[in-house]
Amino acid sequence: MYMEWLIPIQTLQVENIQLGTVTKTSKPLVPLAYKDNDIHFSSLSILLPSLTIKNFDKTTGQLILLLDDSHVTLNKLTTIQDMLITAVTLNQKKWFPNVKAYSDLKSGFQAMIRGSEIHLYCPTQPEILQSIPFFCDGEWGAGGIQKNRLEPGKRIRIAIRIQGISFLLHANSDVWIGKFRIQHKILGILMN
């Protein structure tokens, strides 16, 4: 077992987020890191405050949390999202030199923050679900995420790793088609 360093969203400084170099693979990704003075994290892992579940789709794994009562979280996550869209706009020719420049990149972006909601994805495969720490009723569950407990109206805290900016390529030509999203992974869930 290894320990993942988490940055509480309240102390995260957006200007300390660093962009890596785009990976030239079938699923290109620009990784993120975090540097604060002498401390350097090779990934961006964040602990969110207690948030209310709006919806959880057990089939697709889509988890929607409300950010209405956490304006600091909403503002920081929106700022991060906007910063990443700007980075793609400024670097698209460098990252994808053989692709025409897209003038309206925002239309090809799958937003993580939509209004005052954060849209996350829980894995749906049982073997992955079992590997994610899940705290409920005063103890860590041995079986990972308990999907039946993720009900609308319940409050949870989530630890996520924002892995970077992920780009969608055309299936037949491996050319970027102007679509991208924030790649993330749920590291743990704490039920309140």
Rounded to 5°, angle at Cα 59 from 140 and 151: 50
Average pLDDT of the segment spanning 16-34: 93
- pTM of the full structure: 0.92
> Mind listing the pLDDT tens digit for each residue in 108-137?
999 999 999 999 999 888 888 888 999 999
Find the mean pLDDT for residues 84-109: 90
Residue 93: count of CB within 10 angstroms of its CB: 11
Of 192 and 96, more confident: 96
Mean pLDDT of the 45-65 span: 96
- pLDDT for residue 2 is more than 80: no
- State the burial class of residue 116 (Cβ atoms within 10 Å of its Cβ: 0-12, 13-18, 19+): middle
Q: Residue 11 has what pLDDT? A: 94
* Mean pLDDT score across all residues of the chain: 92
